[in-house]
Amino acid sequence: MAPTRTATIFLLSWPILRHVYQLPPLTSADPLFPQASATRGEVETAPRRNANQIVYLAFTSGTTGEPKGVMHSDNTLLANARAMAADWNIEEASVVYSFSPLSHNLGFGAMVMALSSGGELVVHDLPKGASAVDRILETGASFMLGVPTHAIDILREMRERGLKNLGRVNGFRISGAAASGEVVAGLLEHGVVPQSGYGMTETCSHQYTLPTDDPKKIIETSGRACAGYEIRIFRSDNPDVEAEVGEIGQIAGRGASLMLGYFDDQQATENSFNAGGWFLTGDLGRVDRHGYLQITGRKKEVIIRGGHNIYPARIEALAMRHPAIERVAAVPVSDARLGEKVCIAVMYRQGQHLDAPEVLTHLEEAGLSKYEMPEYFLEVDQIPLTPSGKIRKRDVQDWIEQGRVTPTPVRWQPKERAAQ
């Protein structure tokens, strides 16, 4: 067996380094490594100082196509982590609690943020049935990251136990999907400020609300771009023409946290930018005059009914404001005359229920126009989630197309106007 060599990396000149731990070389006398041979000298390796080199290769979820490897550097990762830490007062005394594993981009980002600010990271590791609230209190968590399901479960347990607050927790980044107004209001009542946001593997978590934002902004928007990043909305039919303020279009961005490109796929990298060098996300949204972003859907998920564009994300966001609804998916149903119609699939919270007219009335009262109203209704016991907590809408659409479920035709009836 060839002799084993060890490499000693000298980092003593790094100003951020506080401690150096060096293990003695392995020998054949070591009971744990009986086959190890004595080293034949040390190999000195100079530290790498290029903060733009690739250090993280993350793969997209592939929900709209084949997964792609996203390349990030120290600079792209730290830019976003430092901005969020500054905006949400995450520092050395902070304990960042991640419900997502480190193998997921949300959990990995939590780790980078905690390390960059000198704080502590706790990764959720409880067996099924154990109390998440007890674990949060035990660890002294001050800021959490998770998906709406985590927020719903924690809020339910706090209410059942009559807890007025969640220990030191004062902020909660909710990703993957929008949190309902009822959940946002409930967390605020318990001293926890939700953070609504938007981001991608390619761009990191560049968009979010602030602790000082009005609850209405937390519920209805994804906040504003953080320091070092900017977004613009471009026309859906022309990615090189900027849309008007308030107009729905494709979200694009650029800045310090943007990826270096897709691994071994130059064509995909080039296709993801417009002529002005803005990264095209494939998501649709609009920005108000104050810079707050509202997501309306995926470009490929637009439902076209008789030539009218309908954005599923808007229907879903409005539906989720009802406290009886736990998950919802708006999907297309083929129509011979109009091309597509909207079907709304609803999963209710345990012990609660609405009939179809009540759901449509809620949507109308929440601001949905008659042109966007669902024309099919589907009640389901379960809407699947991806491992990262996103709704698997494709599953619901497959159930309908395969005939495993049959949506019920519905028609919204406007309330009769009161007699003058």
Alpha helices (H) along 16-147: 74-87, 105-117, 132-139
Residues 352 and 402 in one domain: yes
CB of 83 closer than 8 Å to CB of 47: no
Write phi, then psi, for 257 (nearest 5 degrees). -95, 5
Domain boundary, last residue among 237, 265, 289: 289
pLDDT of residue 8: 41
Q: Do residues 271 and 376 share a domain? A: no
Note whether residue 49 is domain-resident. no
Residue 256 lies in a domain: yes
Domain range for residue 345? 302-409
Coil, helix or strand at residue 93:
coil
Task: Please indicate, yes or no, if residue 405 is contained in any of the structural domains.
Answer: yes
| Residue 229 included in any domain | yes
Residue 9 lies in a domain: no
- Asked whether residue 109 falls in the same domain as residue 246, the answer is yes
Same domain, 176 and 243: yes
| 299 in Cβ contact with 234 (< 8 Å) | no
**In terms of C-beta density within 10 A (0-12 exposed, 13-18 middle, 19 or more buried), how is residue 343 classed?**
buried
The alpha-helical segments, DSSP class H, found in 213-319 are: 215-220, 266-271, 312-319
Q: Sign of the CA dihedral 163, 168, 171, 172?
A: negative
- Beta strands 69-73 and 261-262, pairing class: antiparallel
Answer with the one of 245, 260, 289 that is the final residue of a domain: 289
Cα 84 to chain centroid distance, Å, stands at 14
Q: Are strands 42-45 and 238-242 parallel, antiparallel or unpaired?
A: unpaired
Please report the pLDDT score of residue 31 as a whole number.
61
Is 322 inside a domain boundary?
yes
- CA angle in degrees (0–180, nearest 5) for 93-74-80: 55
Domain count, the chain: 2
> Over its length of 420 residues, how does the chain's per-residue pLDDT go in tens digits?
343 333 344 445 556 667 777 777 766 666 655 555 545 555 567 777 899 999 999 988 654 457 789 999 999 999 999 999 999 999 999 999 999 889 888 899 999 999 999 999 999 988 888 999 999 999 999 999 998 878 888 999 999 999 999 999 999 998 876 777 888 889 999 999 999 999 989 999 999 999 999 998 998 899 999 999 999 999 988 999 999 999 999 999 999 999 999 999 999 999 999 999 999 998 889 999 999 999 887 767 778 887 677 888 889 989 999 999 999 999 999 887 778 899 999 999 999 999 999 999 999 999 998 889 999 999 999 999 876 677 888 899 999 999 999 999 999 887 643 334
The pLDDT of residue 42 is 58
Domain match, 86 and 108 both: yes
